[in-house]
Structure 1
């Protein structure tokens, strides 16, 4: 016992280590891969949000510029400059406005008359744009730094350009993207970057947003350091997932072990794998010179449940719909027994218990015939015992008689087991008498002290002899019971008085010893 317990401890440690390691293999990749795809999804959402902000901003900018062009002329009088100053004062975006002509020369601004040519690259973009509009980053003389310019040319040939500090866009985009991600906003041909120091990190992915109508491109980057920061912050959650997975796997393991060790599963497996043992109990004739008979009785020693009563095995097999399979297992083992000891068993018949509802199946007799072909040693040696447990209805009675005829045609004897405990009617016995009628051991146990039982058994004995049936008294354990059944005229006895059920090697020894005693007596 201590050895098995000692061996169990390393096994449990091994199981715990296995499921712990398996949970780790799942939880870490689960989080690392999931986090990466989550950040990609988040990157996409941030880029779309920034795109919507930029579109709204650019539409507002060019709507404002269109308003300026619609009321502008080619003159630059004081009132024209004043009007531009007023527009700049109320503009949410621009710090300076200028008008340009069809030759793309700025001739008027909110500061007065000017004469500044627009860069040819900007002119090209204006002319190639479907809406005759574009933006650019150029160095402003008035602001002394890279400045955002928006250009728009109306249908009348007059155009307007607006100047604004680039921070205008940063204040819109930064709250959406920073500090997790980094971006580069390309306006025209120049880049407005969010934070170049952050770009020192490895870039694992990026999302590109292009506003082609306005020559604006936004690149949003996923830096590697963000991934590692998030992964480190999720360490407690990774541990929690690992623990949940470990508990789930180990619980499933325990449930699986419990199921594999459950009575129903073990019996199912034992039947499927033919792990059921067969013991044999002699049926001794009280008439000198008559052959010995035996009954095959199933026995099962479970690895997890120890010895299990045959009644439990039969009950569970019936519930699982495996009674037929159980019957074939027992018959085949009886066949193997006869094949192993042909000389010792040459004159001995062995009966096997069969569920009467199995006999009603059309496939039963053909299957039995195929087993007789498989084990020809059984021919003339096999009998079937049908337990008297359930009443047959009007339709089943003739069907059972037909099945019995098929079985008798195979040379197989029939007996009714545990007679008196069920519902077998006298009419059924008369219509198709069995070869043997076995009296239930309940009657034998009460035979000595119960006058009524003796009267019933006397009537049954007379009936059996009238029908040409052999009688077997089951459960004979004492000499007084043996004498009582002998006085009733019972010619065969089965019980512990002569021999308990024995495995095949021991029953062969018993048969040999019994034959020796019988020969010596002769």
Structure 2
């Protein structure tokens, strides 16, 4: 005992190290990757916010220029100059206004009459623009620095241009982007404003905003030092995430081990103590005067796990190597059922599902003989249902045929369950025809709306008749399904339309009520 406990210690240490290391990796990975994508998303949001500000600003600029043009004339009298001065004085953006004619020559400004040609590159942009507007970065004699010039030409041919200092745009964008990110604002080929100077960090990504109508471009950059600064601040959260994942993984591991061991232990004990219950579902004949048959189905309600699916019970029993014991348990309970209700079950046959690997064992037939000796009530009434979960190889096929011959010699009927969904080959059916073919409920569910399924079932019905086999349709739940399978020549029907699986006393009551006994 002490040796087994000692062996668990290094295993437990190994699992603790494994889950600790795995949790740390996942925590670091989640936070580092999530931070990167968070910054990318934040970068995109900042760029969009800056784009909206620029669009709003530019729309305001050209609305202001349009008001200048709407009341302008091809003259530069004292009143015209005063008007331009007044507009510039009350403008939040422009320090100077000018008017230009159809020949794109500025003829009037805040300072009086002028004659200044507009650069041809700017003229080309105005003429190409849908709304006859553009902006440019030009050296201003009045302001003495590179200045933003905005141009707009009205429908009457008169245009207006306005001069604005570049700081106007940086004061709008800086609060949105700085200090975490950096940007460049470019007009044409010249940079109007830039915050990249002096950056001693790699650029990991950038978002580009293009305002084509105004020949403007905004580049917003994600510097690597921002990522590392944010990641450093997340170290406490990474540690918390590591602890959380570690406890989650390890507890899930312990719970999983407990559940698996507990379920396996409970299934083993239930089989050993014959705690598995057997329910019965009737197989009703569609031919008048023929008695019904029953199929024995296992059911198990565990004290620890509640109602456990029969598929789970079979799977666990197979893993534990207890499929033979489970089969003998069910057959014995069917024998006890016949012994308890001899008069009611005198003409009733009952089939039991059996695993194909159990059938291949040499011990299967002798064990079956011993059970028939124990429960002679089963002779002539017991049937076995075989579900083919994998194809028989060339060595297994003759063994299976031989085993079937031994079983039929004992007066036991044979059925192939879920026919059409497994690997029951035609060659095997011809070498050893079953007594009954049971059509899988998948076919029945698709019978109404699937012409192909109808054709397949028609072919199977013809095959069954040619081989002298009965045909059972499983999973019949509605009257239209019953009518459909009847037209296909099906002999017997099994499903909730008639009765669900019931415990032995209730199935006897059902049979009595339906005049089946």
| TM-score with structure 1 setting the length | 0.58
Q: Which runs of 5+ in 1 are unaligned?
A: 271-299, 301-307, 334-350, 388-397, 413-522
Provide the rounded CA distance (Å) in 1 between the counterparts of 2:374 and 2:162.
106
Partner of 1:235: 235
Provide the rounded CA distance (Å) in 2 between the counterparts of 1:265 and 1:103.
94
Question: Which residues in structure 2 correspond to 1:477-516 (within 5 Å)?
Answer: none
User: Which stretch shifts more, 80-89 or 37-46?
Assistant: 37-46
Provide the rounded CA distance (Å) in 2 between the counterparts of 1:250 and 1:215.
59
Contact 1:379 1:411 in 2 (8 A): no
Partner of 1:100: 100
Question: Which residues in structure 2 correspond to 1:96-495 (within 5 Å)?
Answer: 96-197=96-197, 199-262=199-262, 264-268=263-267, 310-311=272-273, 318-319=300-301, 321=310, 329-330=324-325, 354-356=332-334, 362-364=350-352, 371=359, 374-375=362-363, 378=366, 382-383=370-371, 402-403=380-381, 410=410
Provide the rounded CA distance (Å) in 1 between the counterparts of 2:139 and 2:44.
32
Matched, 1:64 2:100: no
Q: CA RMSD in A?
A: 3.9
Provide the rounded CA distance (Å) in 2 between the counterparts of 1:124 and 1:309.
92
Instruction: Give the drift of 1:403.
Output: 2.5
Q: Which runs of 5+ in 2 are unaligned?
A: 278-297, 302-307, 339-348, 385-406, 413-517
Secondary structure of residue in 2 paired with 1:363: strand
Inter-CA distance 7–223: structure 2 relative to 1 (3 Å threshold):
same
Secondary structure of residue in 2 paired with 1:354: helix
Deviations 1:429-451, CA, capped at 9 Å, x for gaps: xxxxxxxxxxxxxxxxxxxxxxx
Partner of 1:15: 15
Instruction: Give the drift of 1:330.
Output: 4.2
Inter-CA distance 184–365: structure 2 relative to 1 (3 Å threshold):
closer
Contact 1:354 1:385 in 2 (8 A): no
Contact 2:201 2:224 in 1 (8 A): yes
Provide the rounded CA distance (Å) in 2 between the counterparts of 1:352 and 1:57.
84
Number of aligned residue pairs = 347
Deviations 1:330-366, CA, capped at 9 Å, x for gaps: 4999xxxxxxxxxxxxxxxxx9992236877733498
Instruction: Give the drift of 1:375.
Output: 2.9
Provide the rounded CA distance (Å) in 1 between the counterparts of 2:98 and 2:129.
20
Instruction: Give the drift of 1:267.
Output: 4.5
Inter-CA distance 382–158: structure 2 relative to 1 (3 Å threshold):
same
Contact 2:166 2:193 in 1 (8 A): no
Based on CA coordinates, which of the two structures has the bigger radius of gyration? Answer: 1
Provide the rounded CA distance (Å) in 2 between the counterparts of 1:37 and 1:211.
26
Instruction: Give the drift of 1:379.
Output: 7.6
Provide the rounded CA distance (Å) in 1 between the counterparts of 2:154 and 2:330.
107
Partner of 2:431: none
Contact 1:134 1:151 in 2 (8 A): yes
Instruction: Give the drift of 1:213.
Output: 1.2
Inter-CA distance 373–154: structure 2 relative to 1 (3 Å threshold):
closer
Contact 1:137 1:190 in 2 (8 A): yes
Instruction: Give the drift of 1:170.
Output: 1.0
Inter-CA distance 102–257: structure 2 relative to 1 (3 Å threshold):
same
Contact 1:136 1:188 in 2 (8 A): yes
Provide the rounded CA distance (Å) in 2 between the counterparts of 1:352 and 1:72.
104
Secondary structure of residue in 2 paired with 1:196: coil
Provide the rounded CA distance (Å) in 1 between the counterparts of 2:334 and 2:111.
114
Provide the rounded CA distance (Å) in 2 between the counterparts of 1:222 and 1:310.
68
| TM-score with structure 2 setting the length | 0.59
Instruction: Give the drift of 1:115.
Output: 2.5
Contact 1:359 1:400 in 2 (8 A): no
Provide the rounded CA distance (Å) in 2 between the counterparts of 1:366 and 1:186.
80
Partner of 1:80: 80
Provide the rounded CA distance (Å) in 2 between the counterparts of 1:126 and 1:365.
87
